[in-house]
Amino acid sequence: MTWLIACLCLGVVLAATPAQAQYRNSSFGFDGGYWLIQKPAITDKNGNIIPEAGSRPMRLDNGWRLGGESNFKMSSDHWWFSARVNLGFLSYPNPPDSDQTVTAKFDREANKALGTLLGVEGSIGVRYLIFTDRVRPYVQLGLSYLHLFSFKDASANCSADDIGCTDNGSFEVDYMPHPNVGAFHLQPGVEWVFTRDMAIHFFADLQHWIVYNADDNNAVVLGLGLLFFI
């Protein structure tokens, strides 16, 4: 009889104790990461700068990204909807003057004309948690839209002396012809719930950029952040 009463008491205690990371239905977080971006060739098969500005690919260099996200539990503990806003700080490459290749000259001119670029990116995705305990590995699929801004006034027309300049073209048109970029995302990551209602978030955001009328880019953001369950 004593054993039965003890078992009943233990059952009540366990039933009243929520799982460490399953009892919350939403979370928000902040993170930072490094953006690694593939650079398609800016030259044609003859080794010349692609003449049509709209057909030139994005030649952005690597940079930093800061972001925030909100996550909401869907039909079960495993499925979550995620929405993000990111700020990227990017620029064109700036190779040394000793590099006199056509590509290096174009990158230097673009870097000088545009300076640092601010990328504002919004994204949505669906996250599947493989495990839902303290260590929560997951896989996420998503879509995003990125818009690029220059801190410089790049609306002035470039001249024939500027490599890659088209007739009556501006620096902005000739060196940043694709300020709007869509992307598909595959993001593996891990949420480690190290204390009540807080988790450390590790992730690798694999991206395929969709650039209209030009070669697409592949990119990855390696990031680290904090999540707060509410």
Q: Averaged over 24-40, what is the pLDDT? A: 97
CB 152, CB 113: distance < 8 Å: yes
Q: 154 falls in which pLDDT band (50, 70, 90)?
A: confident
Place of tokens 């988790």: 199
The predicted structure's pLDDT at residue 168: 65
Q: Looking at the predicted structure, is the pLDDT value of residue 160 above 80?
A: no
Q: Looking at the predicted structure, is the pLDDT value of residue 164 above 80?
A: yes
Structural domains for the chain: 27-229 (2.40.160.20)
The predicted structure's pLDDT at residue 15: 38
Per the prediction, the chain carries an average pLDDT of 89
Q: Looking at the predicted structure, is the pLDDT value of residue 103 above 50?
A: yes
Q: What is the largest CA-CA distance in the chain?
A: 96
Contacts of 17 (CB under 8 A, 6+ apart): none
Q: Looking at the predicted structure, is the pLDDT value of residue 26 above 80?
A: yes
- 29 φ, ψ to 5°? -160, 165
CB 160, CB 133: distance < 8 Å: no
The predicted structure's pLDDT at residue 142: 98
